[in-house]
Structure 1
Amino acid sequence: MRLRVLGILGTLLLAIVAIASAMLLQSVSRDATADLQLNRISALNRFVQLATHADLNSDMSLLQLEMDTYSDLYGEGLLINLGQRQLVSGSIDPQDPEVAQAVRNAELNLGLLQLPPIDPFSDATALLSQPFGNSAQVLGSVTMQVKLETARTKVLEKSSVLWLMVISLGAALLLLADRLTSWVLRPVHRLNDAVNDIAQHQAPVHLEEQGPPELRQLSRSLSRMAQTMAESLEQQQRLIAETSHQLRNPVAALRLRVDLLKMRLGEQADPAGVHAVESELERVETLLDGVMRLASAEHRLTEQRAGDALPDAAVRGQQIDVGQMLAEEVERQSEAARLLGNQLVLDASATSEPEAIAWCNGFDLQQMLAELVENAFKYAPGSSIVMGLELHQRTIGIHIQDHGPGMSAAELENAADRFWRAEQVRHRQGTGLGLAIVDRLARVNAGGLTLESSPGQGLKATISLPRHTKESEIHDES
């Protein structure tokens, strides 16, 4: 933006300099032309007087001598017509069309006493002509060929000085414009950086008040807005966490009352009705548990953003043997898979990788694996579920592949949103928070969640985490 503003100002200044230079050049040219014209007309009048008093029958040698002296001194030609006689000195050519025309005009009592404006880049000469005689007739004329070289040199010298002054002034104005532009735009850039920082970290910022009063006021307003937004986000997160926590007590009390009611009614209790109530209570408990875990993950993620956290040792947490973690999860979930008709398989390469060590929080990884496996049990019943891993230079990819109905591309875009569920599975029990929790926990551990699927070919969920290697240890120590 600064370059664009300076470009516009520079163009305007260049136009001003060009106009000012042209006007000053014309002024200098007019002054030089007026001085030269005044001087040459004075010389022209002198020769008119000499020619007027000359006797046609007398010797013209004195007049010729005066003319030659003048031509030698100034390098200019003279042509005097006196009756039938013609005197010439210098380089003027009587046969030149312009000279001949000036002589004819003088015979008609039309003098030429105006010099054209001096052009410093031209080498042309100029003519002055004045007739003389009595009131009845024109007796002769004096024509002078004016040499403009000296005047041009003076015009160039003065113009060069003026151009230098104008260019210096233009450069000073451009430098001043650069300072003013920086003074105005520096707060604008700070505001832009602050807005990007707020959008990325969702944390309050304090802006130094700089620039014009309007931008100072804008900085104060933005600081207040960022503070208000941060407080609002914190209040929302606190409200969700506190509400979820407070709801656990009445839900637990309801479950206790249902159990007591079953004991009192005994065989008179309606099994279907009691089961429905218990199912709803279980659903509410599952939902509250999911909301709490999601709120905790998002709060940790917000804190990391606010601190501009990087995947260093503090965030990475622990060195986790991913292969061993997968083997333990398969062992833990095998019985549940058997009861649901699923086959939970661990890729043999997962346990054979000697350097499958990831930087992450162990409890978070266990939660992510459990959520993805339960998600596969729920939406891909009776199918095989394969767990494995892929090693990359800086990351480890942990993938869980089911062989259920899969998702469309449009559904994959929304799968990690809170409370989102595909249309075809909304009749099944679920909260729509599982993939959202996995996504937030993966990001908390400096990783990410990617989903791949084609309708009818199952869903492949991959958790990417920072990989621990010897090179990373050397990098951390440095």
Structure 2
Amino acid sequence: MRLRVLAVLGALLCFIAVILSVLLLRSISSTTTQDVQLSRLAAMNRFVQLASFDNDPLDIGALQLEMDTYSELFNEGLIINIGGRQLSSGNIDPLDPVVSTAMRDASINLEQTELQDISPFSSSTAVLARPFGDATQVLGSVILQANLEPARSTILRGWSIVVIATLSACAGLLLLADRLSTWVLRPVQQLIRAVSELARTQKPRPLQAAGPPELRALSRSFGQMAQSVTDSLEQQRELIAETSHQLRNPIAALRLRVDLLKMRLGAQALSGEVAAVEKELRRMENLIDSVLLLASAEHRVSEANSYSNAQTVETQTASLPAAAMLRDEIERHTARAAQLKTPLLLKIPQQEPDEIYVECNEYELQMMLEELISNALKYAAGAPIELELTAASRTVEIAIRDHGKGLPEPDLALVSRRYWRAEPAGQIAGTGLGMAIVQSLAKANKGTLSVENAVGGGLRAALQLPRGQASVAAGANDE
């Protein structure tokens, strides 16, 4: 934005400077031309007066002497036609088409005393003609071939000074435009960075008051708004976490009373009412655990995006053997998978699979894999579930693919939304927070979660996480 503003402002200022310089150039040319024209007209008028005297031999000799002196002094040619005689001096050719045309026009009382504006690129000579006589006839004419070279040199010097001054003025104006645009736009750029950082880290960035008064007021207003938004988000997180934590005690007390009631009722405790109460208790416990876990995951995302906590986040991650982590998760879910008659298949690269490490928090990686595998077992039981590990130069992808019904395309974008559940899932236990938790934990570990319909049917959930260094993990294990 600064470059665009600078380009427009600089172009406008330079355009004004160029317009002024053009006016100055034309003024110099016009003034010099006028001076030359006035001086040459004065000289021609003098020769007209000399030629108007009685043209005896002595007068003709004096006139020729005056003409020769003038031509030698000013390096200009003269032709005077009088009484059928033609006197000439200097380097002028009567047969030159321009000179002959001027002589012919003067013979019919047409004078040529106007000069075109002189410039460094115009001709070095110009022909002027002045007829003279009485009221009834033309007695003669004075033809002057003016030397414009001194005038051209004078104009060239003046133009050079104007051009140099214009270039200097343009450079100064561009520098002024740069300073002005920087002064005006620096607060705007700081505000843009602060907005981006607030969206990423949910923490306000202090803005330095600079620029025009309006932008200073805007920076102060944004700082106050950002602080209010941050405080509100923090209060919401604390409220959710504290409320969920405080609900544990009454739910634990309620479960204790249900267990005591079951002991007192004995065989009657198997009634549907008691089972329904236990089911709702389990649902509330799962919901509270999920809410607390989601709050913790979102807090980790905020820490991971904050520059001030970058070192703390790095200490919470480690290089983990991805294949070993997947094998451990398969072992944990083997009993449940066997109960649901769902094979768990592991696909890993055949070339040195033990050297594929993933940079992640170990507990959080276990939680993500737990949620994705449990989700596949809930919604696609009875069909194989494939756990696939692939590695690139900087990332590792862990994909869990089931062979269930999949999801309609419009629903894929809603998978990680809080409390959203697919339509057929009404009879399946769950809170609708699992995928949101996985997505938040993936972001906290500088990774991503993508969900798509697999080729051939089913759903494919893939975690993209940074690839770790084998040496780091090996060193940690040696200790």
Q: Give the TM-score normalised by the residue count of structure 2.
A: 0.88
Deviation at residue 293 of structure 1 after TM alignment: 0.9
Q: Deviations over 1:359-398 (max 9, x none)?
A: 4333223322322222122111223334453444444443
Deviation at residue 79 of structure 1 after TM alignment: 1.8
Q: Deviations over 1:290-314 (max 9, x none)?
A: 1111111111211221236659883
1:375 is aligned with what amino acid?
N
| CA distance in structure 2 between the aligned counterparts of 1:474 and 1:6, rounded to whole angstroms | 55
1:297 paired residue number: 297
Deviation at residue 147 of structure 1 after TM alignment: 1.7
| CA distance in structure 1 between the aligned counterparts of 2:325 and 2:94, rounded to whole angstroms | 114
2:4 paired residue number: 4
Deviation at residue 441 of structure 1 after TM alignment: 2.1
Question: Do structure 1's residue 122 and structure 2's residue 122 form an aligned pair?
Answer: yes
- Give 5+ residue unaligned stretches, structure 1: none
2:254 paired residue number: 254
Q: Relative to structure 1, is the Cα distance of residues 58 and 415 closer, same or farther in structure 2, using a 3 angstrom cutoff? A: same
| CA distance in structure 2 between the aligned counterparts of 1:346 and 1:149, rounded to whole angstroms | 95
| CA distance in structure 1 between the aligned counterparts of 2:427 and 2:182, rounded to whole angstroms | 61
Q: Which SS does the other structure have where 2:427 is aligned?
A: coil
Q: Relative to structure 1, is the Cα distance of residues 310 and 395 closer, same or farther in structure 2, using a 3 angstrom cutoff? A: farther
**Contact conserved, 1:323 with 1:350, CA < 8 A, in 2?**
no
Q: Which SS does the other structure have where 1:60 is aligned?
A: helix
| CA distance in structure 2 between the aligned counterparts of 1:346 and 1:25, rounded to whole angstroms | 84
Deviation at residue 415 of structure 1 after TM alignment: 1.6
**Contact conserved, 1:396 with 1:467, CA < 8 A, in 2?**
yes
| CA distance in structure 1 between the aligned counterparts of 2:9 and 2:287, rounded to whole angstroms | 62
Q: Relative to structure 1, is the Cα distance of residues 220 and 132 closer, same or farther in structure 2, using a 3 angstrom cutoff? A: same
| CA distance in structure 2 between the aligned counterparts of 1:357 and 1:321, rounded to whole angstroms | 5
1:271 paired residue number: 271
Q: Which SS does the other structure have where 1:461 is aligned?
A: strand
**Contact conserved, 1:294 with 1:433, CA < 8 A, in 2?**
yes
2:39 paired residue number: 39
**Contact conserved, 2:355 with 2:470, CA < 8 A, in 1?**
no
| CA distance in structure 1 between the aligned counterparts of 2:227 and 2:427, rounded to whole angstroms | 42
| CA distance in structure 1 between the aligned counterparts of 2:86 and 2:349, rounded to whole angstroms | 120
2:429 paired residue number: 429
Q: Give the TM-score normalised by the residue count of structure 1.
A: 0.88
User: How many residues of Structure 1 are paired with residues of Structure 2 in the alignment?
Assistant: 476
Q: Which SS does the other structure have where 1:115 is aligned?
A: coil
| CA distance in structure 2 between the aligned counterparts of 1:21 and 1:191, rounded to whole angstroms | 40
**Contact conserved, 1:324 with 1:351, CA < 8 A, in 2?**
no
**Contact conserved, 2:448 with 2:465, CA < 8 A, in 1?**
yes
Q: Which SS does the other structure have where 1:414 is aligned?
A: coil
Deviation at residue 102 of structure 1 after TM alignment: 3.8
1:443 paired residue number: 443
Deviation at residue 324 of structure 1 after TM alignment: 4.1
Question: Do structure 1's residue 150 and structure 2's residue 150 form an aligned pair?
Answer: yes
Q: Deviations over 1:417-473 (max 9, x none)?
A: 221212222332221112222222233233333334338633333334444434557
| CA distance in structure 2 between the aligned counterparts of 1:319 and 1:3, rounded to whole angstroms | 44
Which piece of structure 1 moves more, 428-437 or 5-14?
A: 5-14
Deviation at residue 109 of structure 1 after TM alignment: 4.7
Q: Relative to structure 1, is the Cα distance of residues 200 and 58 closer, same or farther in structure 2, using a 3 angstrom cutoff? A: same
Matches within 5 A, 1:141-290: 141-263=141-263, 271-290=271-290
Deviation at residue 206 of structure 1 after TM alignment: 0.2
1:287 is aligned with what amino acid?
L
Q: Relative to structure 1, is the Cα distance of residues 38 and 259 closer, same or farther in structure 2, using a 3 angstrom cutoff? A: same
**Contact conserved, 1:103 with 1:129, CA < 8 A, in 2?**
yes
Deviation at residue 76 of structure 1 after TM alignment: 1.6
Q: Relative to structure 1, is the Cα distance of residues 427 and 95 closer, same or farther in structure 2, using a 3 angstrom cutoff? A: same
| CA distance in structure 2 between the aligned counterparts of 1:176 and 1:37, rounded to whole angstroms | 43
| CA distance in structure 2 between the aligned counterparts of 1:184 and 1:449, rounded to whole angstroms | 41
**Contact conserved, 1:13 with 1:170, CA < 8 A, in 2?**
yes
| CA distance in structure 1 between the aligned counterparts of 2:320 and 2:101, rounded to whole angstroms | 108
Q: Deviations over 1:144-172 (max 9, x none)?
A: 22121111111111221122122212221
CA RMSD of aligned residues (A): 3.2
**Contact conserved, 1:56 with 1:82, CA < 8 A, in 2?**
no
Q: Relative to structure 1, is the Cα distance of residues 150 and 393 closer, same or farther in structure 2, using a 3 angstrom cutoff? A: closer
**Contact conserved, 2:387 with 2:400, CA < 8 A, in 1?**
yes
Q: Which SS does the other structure have where 2:446 is aligned?
A: coil
Q: Relative to structure 1, is the Cα distance of residues 256 and 116 closer, same or farther in structure 2, using a 3 angstrom cutoff? A: same
**Contact conserved, 1:420 with 1:433, CA < 8 A, in 2?**
yes
Q: Relative to structure 1, is the Cα distance of residues 162 and 348 closer, same or farther in structure 2, using a 3 angstrom cutoff? A: closer
Deviation at residue 232 of structure 1 after TM alignment: 1.3
1:412 is aligned with what amino acid?
L
Deviation at residue 93 of structure 1 after TM alignment: 3.7
**Contact conserved, 1:310 with 1:446, CA < 8 A, in 2?**
no
**Contact conserved, 2:105 with 2:111, CA < 8 A, in 1?**
yes
Q: Relative to structure 1, is the Cα distance of residues 36 and 471 closer, same or farther in structure 2, using a 3 angstrom cutoff? A: farther
- Give 5+ residue unaligned stretches, structure 2: none
**Contact conserved, 2:412 with 2:452, CA < 8 A, in 1?**
yes
| CA distance in structure 1 between the aligned counterparts of 2:351 and 2:430, rounded to whole angstroms | 32
**Contact conserved, 1:408 with 1:454, CA < 8 A, in 2?**
no
2:413 is aligned with what amino acid?
E
Q: Which SS does the other structure have where 2:129 is aligned?
A: strand
| CA distance in structure 2 between the aligned counterparts of 1:218 and 1:313, rounded to whole angstroms | 33
**Contact conserved, 1:447 with 1:464, CA < 8 A, in 2?**
yes
**Contact conserved, 2:451 with 2:461, CA < 8 A, in 1?**
yes
1:385 paired residue number: 385
1:354 paired residue number: 354
Which piece of structure 1 moves more, 353-362 or 293-302?
A: 353-362
**Contact conserved, 1:132 with 1:139, CA < 8 A, in 2?**
yes
1:255 is aligned with what amino acid?
R
Which piece of structure 1 moves more, 166-175 or 56-65?
A: 56-65
